[in-house]
Amino acid sequence: MQSRWNDATARDYVARYAAHGEALALRLYTCHLLGQDPSLVLHGGGNTSVKTTRTDLLGRDVPVLCVKGSGSDLAEVGPEGMPAVRLQPLLELRALDALGDQAMVDAVRGALLDSRAPNPSVETLLHAFLPHAYVDHTHADAILALTDTPDPAARVRAALGDAVVLLPWIMPGFPLAQAVAAAFAAAPQCRGIVLAKHGLFTFGDSARQSYERTIELVDRAEKYLAHSIGGRPSMLWAEAAPWSADERRALLARALPILRGAVARKVDSPVGPAWQRVVADARTADDLAAFAAHGAARQLCATGPITPDHVIRTKGHYLFLGREEAVAGDQVHAAVAAYCAAYQRYFTAHRPDPKVAMLPPEPRIAVVAGIGLVALGAVPSAARIAADIAEHTLRTKAMAHDLDRFEALPDHELARMEYWPLELAKLSAQKPPPLQGQIAFVTGAAGAIGSGIVEALLEAGACVFATDVDAARLATAMQRFAAHHDRLACGSVDLRDAEAVAAEFTRCVLRFGGVDIVVPNAGIAHVARLTELSPARFAEVQDVNVRGTLHVLQAAAPILRAQGTGGSVVVQASKNAFAPGAGFGAYSASKAAALQLARIAALEFAEFGVRVNAINADAVFGTDAQPSQLWQQVGPDRMRARGLDEQGLRQFYRDRSLLKTEVLPRHVGEAVVFFASCRTPTTGAVLPVDGGLPEAFPR
């Protein structure tokens, strides 16, 4: 490992954060250097501090500790994420023999200069009790590989010598702060303190010194590991060659919907039973696949995390599935049930407080033999964070396994950390949006109605796989949803090609884990009276609007069935299915056929709990930014026939409805969200979104 300190960049930070002082500016620089290296910290892990001064209300320079806020990410933390705490009240706490967690939190928050600041790190007192200006704490993989073994003292001594002091595992909080301060006082020449099964603290009089001590010690640990195990761990390459990338992809496409369905939780809701679903993030790099193929993989997955800080993201143990097992629905459900039962036993045996409720017992990480790992989370960001941690966990366990034997923290200590109130406080208590964890597949997403559907689904919390035949137009249309980039993926497909449609569903599965909401929305139109209607143009409209809908239904059905958690199909029909217009024969016939397919699907898909409904929209002109292609095509003819301009035509359609209102793309999107939310036990229904047209009332 090499230092990435750069004097020019350091000066840039000092200039950028001049208003906050040089000390904090350089602290932020080294925070970012540490946080941007995933082998040192991951996703909110680790913490850092700097001792400096701030001016109080009386104009006095007050010594303060600027320490990372709890949950902030070192890779991107800013000044607001390093709350300033008065140092003297913290130092006075050293005189205590004991200090409870809540009293510690109260004392630290009471010393904040700004009461609106985020909670300082739970290790604030540890930073305060060390005398150095700068303190860095990381969970470096190489350090953990040394200490997650049966004899961490021997390993740390062999790798790092007298440069560090090793402490045994101690729960974070006041006792750990006291122990670290005492350890440094007894060995003031040390450059770092290693906490067994936890991580590394380094310190210095400057930001560079503290940072480069971390780099130096981690580099020594990495070199020791490489020398001891002969390069990289044999677990990551020496077993039978894992399946090829294409074979892994093919198996995952079958396995992910089954796993996702098995992990979904059935819960009560105000409108009856509902599913709490998850999304998946699969990682199949060659070394991960090799680990998963190794004979020791199953046993290592049954051990705890490399540091207990990861437990709230990944749980302690990982689910392990054989290749054949992963694609057998009954076996996956049995494996998940066994995992949940084991977690229940762990909780019952080790929960630190009899009043605390058990967290959801389902696995967060599954390792599939010869394939890699799958992380599961309520939202893509949670799955991604868990997957990142799991990648490093497997690689670190492989190093410890080759070095000696991986040995995790005992379950009773892990449970203390998992159910520690200060850790649980990091979990969000916000009410989730209605479609959180659900995955939608939308066709014709580049159009006005399609983008309105995508918008409504994203705002309701769903992940969306948006498709259109026009990839360039789709990319442009989706630009306005950049804020939802982690929940939005795009694909281009010609719905007339059944194999291409199936391939896009596979891409959706590999991206998010499955599909719950299917919206066949794409359609084309052709204006011609029957006497002038070309059979070829008639067939073209049927190919897209009818055969395309059929292909989508056929590709979605096996995924929905494999998941076993129901779902919702919402077919975009049209008021023309009930109230056709002259010159619109090809389109009207195709939409009537699509509606009939929806009705048949409602009959057949009910077998696996899927509701199929339709929306009949009319006169959706779109917006200036996203105009309707259909109305761009048929509008001029309608304007000529009625002697109207574009605004006059829009007014005509508003006035002819009972509600005298304009129908917007977002209205259609909200109708899709209503059906997808399954708030009523409805299937086979047709919902008009047309402002009210008596001739098009469903009958």
Active site residues: 587
Three-class DSSP category at 94:
helix
Query: What percentage of the chain reaches a pLDDT higher than 70?
Result: 97
pLDDT score at 219: 98
pLDDT digit string (tens) for 239-282?
Answer: 666 789 999 999 999 999 999 999 999 888 777 678 999 999 99
Helix 380-403 with 207-229: angle, nearest 10 deg? 60
DSSP code, position 503: H
Does 192 score more than 80 pLDDT? yes
Residue 648's pLDDT band (boundaries 50, 70, 90)? confident
d(CA 34, CA 529): 69
Residue 630's pLDDT band (boundaries 50, 70, 90)? confident
Structure tokens at 191: 């450059």
pLDDT score at 236: 86
CATH entry, 439-622+663-688, from 3.40.250.10, 3.40.710.10, 3.40.50.720, 1.20.1250.20: 3.40.50.720
pLDDT digit string (tens) for 459-502?
Answer: 999 999 999 999 999 999 999 999 999 999 999 999 999 999 99
**CA-based nearest residue to 359, from 304, 432, 423, 306:** 423
pLDDT score at 146: 97
d(CA 172, CA 99): 12
The residue assigned the tokens 């977690």 is 343
Question: What are the residue boundaries of the structural domains of the chain, listed by start?
Answer: 7-229, 245-424, 439-622+663-688
pLDDT score at 612: 98
Q: Is residue 124 within 8 Å of residue 72, measured between CB atoms?
A: no
DSSP code, position 469: S
pLDDT score at 429: 67
Does 171 score more than 80 pLDDT? yes
pLDDT score at 490: 97
* Residue range 245-424, CATH number: 3.40.225
Structure tokens at 98: 């004991």
pLDDT digit string (tens) for 26-60?
Answer: 999 999 999 999 999 998 889 999 999 999 888 89
Residue 474 identity: L
Does 428 score more than 70 pLDDT? no
CA distances from 493 to 221, 497, 503, 629 (A): 50, 8, 9, 18
Query: What percentage of the chain reaches a pLDDT higher than 90?
Result: 84
Does 699 score more than 80 pLDDT? no
Q: Establish whether domains 7-229 and 245-424 are of one fold.
A: yes
pLDDT score at 280: 98
The residue assigned the tokens 């079958």 is 254
Q: Is residue 207 within 8 Å of residue 26, measured between CB atoms?
A: yes
Q: Is residue 159 within 8 Å of residue 403, measured between CB atoms?
A: no
- Decide yes or no: CATH 3.40.1190.10 for domain 7-229: no
Residue 651's pLDDT band (boundaries 50, 70, 90)? confident
Residue 584's pLDDT band (boundaries 50, 70, 90)? confident
pLDDT score at 453: 97
d(CA 194, CA 137): 10
Does 640 score more than 80 pLDDT? no
Average pLDDT over residues 659-671: 93
d(CA 397, CA 385): 18
Query: What predicted TM-score, i.e. pTM, was given to this entire model?
Result: 0.93
CA distances from 153 to 148, 166, 194 (A): 11, 7, 10
pLDDT score at 420: 92
Does 606 score more than 70 pLDDT? yes
pLDDT digit string (tens) for 286-308?
Answer: 999 999 999 999 999 999 999 99
d(CA 382, CA 364): 10
pLDDT score at 581: 85
Q: To the nearest whole number, what is the mean pLDDT of the chain?
A: 94
pLDDT score at 479: 95
d(CA 3, CA 10): 13
pLDDT score at 239: 66
pLDDT score at 13: 98
Average pLDDT over residues 347-371: 94
Q: How many CB atoms lie within 10 A of CB 7?
A: 8
Q: Is residue 4 within 8 Å of residue 33, measured between CB atoms?
A: yes
CA distances from 136 to 129, 159, 179, 375 (A): 13, 20, 17, 29
d(CA 179, CA 475): 56
